[in-house]
């Protein structure tokens, strides 16, 4: 049964597609930020999970061979709490610490513009997280694909931060964000018609065909 949260909660993976306007329905993130106990669409079993795990293992090994101290996935889970009580939570794939610390995101599927936004969100949040020991650290960013590696400079955070601040302001507001139910917006939305009667459903085969990386659990 859906019921209100005591204070807003945002999972980091809800935001990157909104930041690039690949998804224009901010209402979904707003609803999940302010509610819990809602029904979720069944996850499609993706073979990409195994490919992601293998690529992450390879990336970790390469960093360790270069002398980095490496932590992965749930070891990196961060909680960033604002003065208003709202919480931003996320799980970077890999943090490698040496003279030049790095946050890496491993993507076993197609490259998307919002991959960069997700990594920038982690580069912004990890040094501010109350539960991690990286206060004030500046991280380089690395997007790792099966056939390519892309670097993300911390200089990009200067342009990124105002966009993130504006989006979070709308997602965390008491007033609902704009709802825009379209086939594109609804395709990977985890909410069901029980909470969003206007949801547009595509065929499940089409959803599976467009699947990319693993889905992190919604708390």
Cα–Cα distances in angstroms (integers) from residue 170 to residues 19, 37, 167, in the given order: 12, 22, 5
CB 43 within 8 A of CB 193: no
pLDDT in tens, 43-95: 655 676 889 999 999 999 999 999 999 999 999 999 999 888 899 999 999 99
Average pLDDT, the chain: 90
**For range 198-206, the mean pLDDT:** 69
- Listed by start position, the domains of the chain span 3-209
**For range 94-112, the mean pLDDT:** 95
Asked if the 3-209 domain carries CATH number 1.10.287, the reply is: no
pLDDT of residue 218: 34
**For range 141-145, the mean pLDDT:** 98
CB 140 within 8 A of CB 153: yes
**For range 167-178, the mean pLDDT:** 95
86's tokens: 């709202």
CB 59 within 8 A of CB 104: yes
Three-class HEC string of 170-189: HHHCCCCCCCCCCHHHHCCC
pLDDT of residue 46: 62
pLDDT in tens, 17-32: 999 999 999 999 999 9
> pTM of the entire structure?
0.88
């Amino acid at each position: 049964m859906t019921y209100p949260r005591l204070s807003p909660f945002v999972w980091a993976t809800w935001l990157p597609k909104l930041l690039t306007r690949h998804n224009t329905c901010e209402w979904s993130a707003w609803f999940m930020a302010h509610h819990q106990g809602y029904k979720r669409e069944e996850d499609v079993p993706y073979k990409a999970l195994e490919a992601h795990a293998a690529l992450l293992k390879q990336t970790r090994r390469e960093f360790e061979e270069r002398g980095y101290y490496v932590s992965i996935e749930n070891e990196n889970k961060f909680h960033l709490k604002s003065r208003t009580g709202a919480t931003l939570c996320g799980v970077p794939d890999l943090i490698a610490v040496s003279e030049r610390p790095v946050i890496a995101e491993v993507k076993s599927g197609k490259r998307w513009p919002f991959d960069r936004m997700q990594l920038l969100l982690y580069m912004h949040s990890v040094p501010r997280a109350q539960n991690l020991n990286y206060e004030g650290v500046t991280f380089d960013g690395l997007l790792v694909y099966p056939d390519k590696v892309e670097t993300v400079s911390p200089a990009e955070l200067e342009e990124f931060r105002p966009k993130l601040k504006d989006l979070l302001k709308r997602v965390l507001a008491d007033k609902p964000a704009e709802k825009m139910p379209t086939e594109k917006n609804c395709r990977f939305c985890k909410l069901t018609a029980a909470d969003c009667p206007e949801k547009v459903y595509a065929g499940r085969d089409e959803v599976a065909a467009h699947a990319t990386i693993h889905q992190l659990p919604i708390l």
